[in-house]
Structure 1
Amino acid sequence: MDEVRRRLREAAASHRPDRERMLARVERGMAEDRQPAGAVPVYRPGRASRLAIAGATAAVVAVLALGGHTVATMGRDGDGAVAGAASPPASPAPGGTERPSPARTEDGHLWSDGSVDPHSNSYWAQSNVTVKNRKALTSLTVELRITDTGGVASTGGWRTRPAGDFDFSVRKEGGALVYRWTLRPGRTVPPGQHVFAGQYNHAEGGRDAAGDTYTVRSEASGEPAAVQGDFARTPS
């Protein structure tokens, strides 16, 4: 046993690393790693290559995991945009792509709305002008204009206020049927919601009410107010 140990110590003492040979091997390995652009990399077996591949794989997995977590955390909003992402400033709508607001529907003590009655049909329709007032009105005029889209003829009109409080008229004017309700002198309209309706026949089929309009003018405690609008819905 002592003899074996002695020989091992002598062999270790006599060993000298071949520095030049080691440097040559390192340079050769580096040259193999420098692939020309577009070349398919060749992976050679060996501990160093296996470590490099393992490291690259771990990095890719980490990036994919982080990316997936980010998307899952941020989510998407209702239009498909990534929630939390900065949105570009909204551009103004191109001219003519949206129907502009036709008029003011609220003014001081007065508010209004126009709609086609849901009971309208393919031969007959009713257009409603709803008026809301916060103060008692001493003056009120409601005018409804129904464009003659073909076969339009009045069948009457009504209001939720007493008939004796208003003067009512219907006439044809400028290609439209004009309904007008005017509050009589000495009468008042209490605060609340009131409806004025014009009824008419029309050509067979669904009538387009886009060209119909209304105007409401009033006075309360010496304060005048005026609103107007159109009819967004059409009868089915």
Structure 2
Amino acid sequence: MDEAQVRRRLREAADSHQPDRARMLARVERGLLTPPPRRTVSAPRRPRALWVSAVAVAAAVAGVLSLGGLAATTLHRDSGQVATMPAPHPPLRAVGSIDPGSNRWWAQNNVTLTAHTPLTELTVELRIARTAGVASTGHWRTRPAEDFTVSVHEEATHLVYTWVLKPGRTVPPGSHVFAGQYNHAEGARDSGTDTYTVTVVDAFREQRSVRGDFRHSQG
């Protein structure tokens, strides 16, 4: 077969070829409907330093809360120093003293009460030992007289002054003085066995009591 015959047969085969159009369209359609493969993206891992920092902050907060009423602790982020604040004042304090105006025949015992919260109930009892010549000459307090019921009575060994806050009255925070006055035998009087008791209920319904004496005072 010569070259001219080969070319003629190839041309005839090409002219007689009919492409399968339906199959080609089906393949294209399947390609469009098939979703592309998914790429898995891992979540970024947080640096370990941030996790350690969060744990440290949580531990610091827990430490501060565990201190309660003993002290308040402040953390300084920049310097890393820890400053400890002093504990709050006690809610009730009382001191007994002989008034400086006392003399060789007469004396006054002062009970100075210091409260850091309002008081809804208060009883102050002052007991003056009945040394020679002791006899009551009066009493006073820095709070309004109409807020208290006051009594004075004698026992075998003591002269007793009692101040009781009336129901519905309140003593504000601050220092308040309750004083008992009396005559005594001439000369320096030993106040070592004089005593006082202060009992209160504060605005939070907490009851407290303090006691003391005048052992280091003389009048």
TM beyond 0.5: yes
Which contiguous aligned blocks of 4+ residues in structure 1 show a shift greater than 2 angstroms?
A: none
Aligned to 1:134: 116
Check the 8 A contact 1:154/1:201 in 2, yes or no. Answer: yes
1:196 to 178, 185, 191: 178
Q: CA deviation at 1:173?
A: 1.4
Partner residue of 2:217? Answer: 233
User: 3-state SS of the aligned residue for 2:146?
Assistant: helix
Alignment gaps of 5+ in structure 2: 1-88
1:208 matches 2:190: yes
1:120 pairs with 98, 102, 112, which one?
102
Query: 2-side partners of 1:223 and 1:176: how far apart?
Result: 30
How many residue pairs match? The answer is 129
Structure 1 partner of 2:145: 163
1:175 is displaced (CA, Å) by: 1.1
Q: Deviations over 1:118-173 (max 9, x none)?
A: 11001000000000000000000000000011110000100000000000010001
2:86 aligned with 1:111, yes or no? no
Q: Amino acid of the residue matched to residue 215 of structure 1?
A: T
Larger fraction in strand: 2
In 2, Cα distance between equivalents of 1:174 and 1:193:
32
Unaligned runs of 5+ in 1: 1-106
C-alpha offsets along residues 94-134 of structure 1, whole Å, 9 cap, x if unaligned? xxxxxxxxxxxxx9511000000111001000000000000
1:5 alignment partner in structure 2? none
**Which amino acid in structure 1 is aligned with residue 126 of structure 2?**
L
Deviations, residues 37-79 of structure 1 (Å, cap 9, x unaligned): xxxxxxxxxxxxxxxxxxxxxxxxxxxxxxxxxxxxxxxxxxx
Matched residue, 2:136: 154
Aligned residues: CA RMSD: 1.1
- What TM-score, normalized by structure 1, do the two folds share? 0.54
The residue type equivalent to 2:168 in the other structure is G
Contact 1:160–1:195 (CA<8 Å) still a contact in 2?
Answer: yes
Question: In structure 2, how many angstroms separate the alpha carbons of the residues matched to 1:108 and 1:223?
Answer: 13
Percent of paired sites with the same residue: 60
In structure 2, what residue type is equivalent to 1:120?
S
Tell me if structure 2 keeps the 8 A contact 1:108–1:225: no
Query: What is the one-letter code of the residue matched to 2:217?
Result: R
Cα distance in structure 1, aligned partners of 2:112 and 2:90: 16
Displacement of 1:174 in angstroms is: 3.1
Distance 2:190 2:90 in 1: 31
Instruction: For 1:196, give the aligned amino acid.
Output: F
218, 224, 236: which one aligns with 2:200: 218
Structure 1 distance, partners of 2:143, 2:162, is 14
